[in-house]
Structure 1
């Protein structure tokens, strides 16, 4: 879930919670006020009923006149007067089948209230010279309940409309909140190794967005410095390091051609020459790894047909390893020749594929190596398989780490640089490498490359 959606959801949840609490409080207080008002009206009628029925005198008719003339008649209004027995304490005939708690509260506190749904009851205790009485007035309040039902409907409608408006407000709020972040994302996506000198537009203020922009710009400055340092190394290391190695190699070859060396000294010079040549190879591979880390647009990219490149690489391997046996299989080529083209640097791709084929020849003691080219799921598929020593299962995850060599390669020369360099080159071309291997059975390496969209 995107941050904008999370903010909107969080906004709606907070607003919904607040609306539920507010609407609940409104309904609670309105219903409490409605019930309280109706009970007070009942209690006023209880007092009038007591004046009329418990204290009969000359004023009874006046109270009766006031009640009938000035007080509205409540729905199903009924008066109940019950005299308590004088001989037995708190004994009386219950005028209505109401809970004992209601009657006990009347006797204990002097008054009580009770309701069942829309039926309301108010009662009071009166003590006179003629005896003790309990007066109860019962009535219904349909209008109050209708008002509460109407209020409930209004609150639900207002709640639904408020949630909708809150959602819209949340979307607008989250959109403008995340807008600076989206702008940063768009700007960052445009920055690559070709334009590391670009910077994000600074934001005024001291908020988190301004701090994020400043952090990105500082990071880009560090990356630009790092890439420039690497670029300078690639540009200068070849000349600076190859020159002394060339001199050492030339001098060693000159000593060997003179023929004036003793056998012991001759072997020593041969060792120097061999190690110097190894050092040249290591240097070339290291420079290739550094070079393959750059953006491809600096590498003279072109449209490459991969079956032709495989043939070129096979000829190159034959010259390096004359004893190698290569079986180039083109039986899986797609009918559409455009699916064999990719975009990249031909020299780097030749280096990557030749590293894999040379490894297959070396670690299989020049047993037959099969190379096939095809198309799968809209991508170019190159498969190199051998019948060699294989790679231990627990070491396969490390073979693309620089300078790592499997435990069963002690009898073979190598430096652990070829496969890491190959992986860098394939990644540079937006491809991938897969491997399947079993000890003493062989190894299969699959290279997937994107088809050129042009």
Structure 2
């Protein structure tokens, strides 16, 4: 069942229940008003007949004759008059006697005064009537045929009103729910046209402040993230294919040339050295790509721990110098006004942060004539700040802007081997830890990387 049909049915059921309740209250209220009005009229008629009889203005036989003649055509009031000792003084029709008075009823009326009751659908009253200083008991009974006919007509009107009103409410509710859900149909229709090849399309947003607008906006944001991810994947695959093709082509060419003819042991050794260098280059590229993939994990997917950045930098320095003895790394720890270790302690992943700082420091050393990196750690406010500087030739504006692009190599790519992964990887890792990374450089004045991370 579609939502619009379900909404229409539920709305109609609720409306029908409320409608029935309201119409029932109207019917009950009308019946109460009819009953109260007829009892009042019945009392007035009883007083009139009792006054006429007791005053001797009309003979009792004439009054009985009028009653018997009238009751054939209209619902005439049957009146009886008793004294307080239960002696009947007058009765319109003893043979009919709707109320069937007895001594108990008479004594009750004398003791309590007026009373109203029903007998087989007839409305009846009993009352004390004071005339000429004497008290009399007057009873009256009649059938409110006119009132019941009006009540039956009202019931028919209410039933018709219920059926017609509910039908109109159902139809109007259906079209209102259809109109209210039209934006959802538009969203569904547009979403069905969005595929991997047309992921740049977006859902229509007519009103950003209503619920459907918020849903469409959230879905569009999701599409934007997916589009960015797809584009990154396409670029990544394209660049990886290009980067892997170069060492593979060199490796195959070297092996092809070597196998063309017999060579001396020395020539084979040279060829194998070249093959080994190409293999190392491929291994380095693959390691960088794997680390790049790890840096793309969400923060909740990697293990985090408390890390002292000064100790981490000491470990990174030792690892770099072990692999490159010709490098020089000068660590400078800023003066601290407190011995609290929290100012140099951050929450992060030890492996990833080690890779990030290794790449930044190695970049200093590789492109500096004296192969030196100056590393300074300090803190201010809520940030721990690490600055890594060199005395190299610096970067141009274009190189500085593209420094953190994947596979980008600057004008000095001939100075040192690389794949253009290290800087992009370092930025991803720092961003993953909600840190900031900036590069400060002018041509001929060296380069400084500034990393800021929130300490504990």
So what's the TM-score if we normalise by structure 2? Answer: 0.47
Structure exhibiting the larger radius of gyration computed from Cα positions: 2
